[in-house]
Amino acid sequence: MAQIEIDRDYIATLKPPVIKRGVVGWMKDNLFNSVFNSLLTIATILLLIKVVPPFFQWAFIDSNWFSGSDVCRDSEGACWSVITKNIRFIIFGFYPYELHWRPFSAMMILFALLFLSNDSKYWSKSLGYGWLAGLVVMGILMKGGILGLESVDTMKWGGLPLTLLLSVFGLTAAYPLGVVLALGRDSRMPGIKYLCITYIELIRGVPLISLLFMSSIIFPLFLPEGLTINKILRAQAAIIFFTAAYIAEVVRGGLQGMPRGQYDAADSLGLNTFQTMRLVILPQALKIVIPPTLSVLVSAFKDTSLVVIIALFDLLKTSQTVLSNPKWMGFSPEMYIFVALLYFLGCFSMSNFSRKLERQLDTDKRT
């Protein structure tokens, strides 16, 4: 019998045919795997060629970054100087110029806390206390009046710190309220249950703007004579009441996901209702709903932009104020692209984080 000599070492050094590897293989698999897909690819590329290079030219090559507005008007490209020349007003609004370091450091504290919370291995009680302390320090930095800091009227707060404050404090205060509402909705007591259902459905059924109107025009009527609450706090309250209803629904989803056996087990240990909730049900239910809670935070962050309509100077309003200056009139696309970028970075990183968490917390699927 003839022996066929196979040089296995040689075969191992051979590479697969060029059509199966590298750029060409990838393109064949992902861009030209059928006639229809090939046509689609070509059409898309043609469209991109038509759109992307002119945009690139406008945004980067012909653009002005630090010139005055008169140079911008003669230029074909984007005028990014509308942002660079006004950056401090856009970010801090009417906050006293020489005190800008205070909102700046408040934001830095917030970012540092967010950065630490980003990794679930740092999650601990001390981080929770860190958040509480951080929020207090941020409040003191913004308001001043103690520790030798000059007091700053809240009417002067504005820009990015205001946007961040409204959303962070909004969520922090709305969260406990939302949990209470969710527990109330699941309660066996019909009176409590329907009270909570009415609240949740009422709030979820109306747009945020109607609540903001309520806070800015009706709320002052509710208060006894002589007592006034400032505008930012009223808007903050509206955002809290609005967000709480959405949190309640998210938490309710988590509560409903708890198996009956958990309640039975807690009962058999002799825990009362309060202990059952605090020690057994809520820790598990709240863990499940962390990702959807984050998406509530994302919408709350986006929704804070609505305070523009009741004339609070948040990030969007400060940028519009710059645009209403005759010197910078007409550069809205540049400005709005910049603000959109800020919002996008915030929302995108949060939703990415929530997706990452979802994978991490998904401990049930371990095999």
Partner 1 sequence: MTNTTTNAKVPFWLNPDKRAIIFQIMTFVMVGLLALYLVDNTLTNLEEQNISSGFGFMDKEASFEIGESPIPYSAADSYSRALLVGFLNTLKVSFLGIILCLIIGVFVGVARLSTNWLVAKLALIYIEVMQNIPILLQLFFWYALFYEIFPSPQTALNPMDGVFLCNRGMALGVPASHPVHKYMILAVIAGMILSVIISRWARKRQNATGEIFPVLWTSVGITLGLPFITWLMAGAPTEMNLPSLQGFNFRGGIMLSPEFIALLLGLTIYTSAFVAEAVRAGIQSVSRGQIEAAESIGLRSAHILRMVTLPQALRIIIPPLTSQMLNLTKNSSLAIAIGFPDFVSVANTTINQTGQSIEGVALIMGCYLIFSLTTSVFMNWYNKKSQLVER
Inter-axis angle of helices 159-185 and 101-117, nearest 10: 40
C-beta closer to partner 1: residue 212 or 255: 212
Under DSSP, the state recorded for 314 is B
Residues counted in the chain: 367
C-beta closer to partner 1: residue 29 or 153: 29
- 159 conformational bin, left if phi > 0, alpha if psi -120 to 50, beta if neither: left
In contact, 153 and 160? CB cutoff 8 Å: no
C-beta closer to partner 1: residue 102 or 246: 246
C-beta closer to partner 1: residue 187 or 284: 187
C-beta closer to partner 1: residue 40 or 265: 40
Q: How far is the CB of 255 from partner 1 (least distance, A)?
A: 19
Q: How far is the CB of 298 from partner 1 (least distance, A)?
A: 8
In contact, 67 and 81? CB cutoff 8 Å: yes
Q: How far is the CB of 92 from partner 1 (least distance, A)?
A: 19
Instruction: Tell me how far apart the alpha carbons of residues 197 and 195 are, in angstroms, rounded to a whole number.
Output: 6
Neighbours of 180 (CB within 10 A): 14
C-beta closer to partner 1: residue 347 or 357: 347
Q: How far is the CB of 37 from partner 1 (least distance, A)?
A: 5
Instruction: Tell me how far apart the alpha carbons of residues 29 and 315 are, in angstroms, rounded to a whole number.
Output: 45
Q: How far is the CB of 305 from partner 1 (least distance, A)?
A: 4
Q: Which residues bind partner 1 (CB under 8 A)?
A: 30-31, 33-34, 37, 40-41, 44-45, 188-192, 195, 201-202, 204-207, 209-210, 213-214, 217-218, 220-225, 298, 302-303, 305-306, 308-309, 316, 320, 330, 332-333, 336-337, 339-340, 343-344, 347-348, 351
C-beta closer to partner 1: residue 248 or 316: 316
Q: What does residue 79 show for φ and ψ, rounded to 5 degrees?
A: -110, 85
Name the residue type at position 321: T
C-beta closer to partner 1: residue 204 or 278: 204
Q: How far is the CB of 341 from partner 1 (least distance, A)?
A: 9
Q: How far is CA 23 from the centre of its chain?
A: 37
- What the block records as the tokens of 198 is 């009415």
In contact, 38 and 32? CB cutoff 8 Å: yes
DSSP 269-306: TT--HHHIIIIIIHHHHHHHTHHHHHHHHHHHHHHGGG
C-beta closer to partner 1: residue 99 or 309: 309
Of 105, 203, 113, 94, which is closest to residue 159 (Cα–Cα)?
94
Q: Residue 102 belongs to what H/E stretch?
A: helix 101-117
Name the residue type at position 120: S
Q: How far is the CB of 191 from partner 1 (least distance, A)?
A: 4
Instruction: Tell me how far apart the alpha carbons of residues 200 and 168 are, in angstroms, rounded to a whole number.
Output: 21
Q: How far is the CB of 189 from partner 1 (least distance, A)?
A: 5
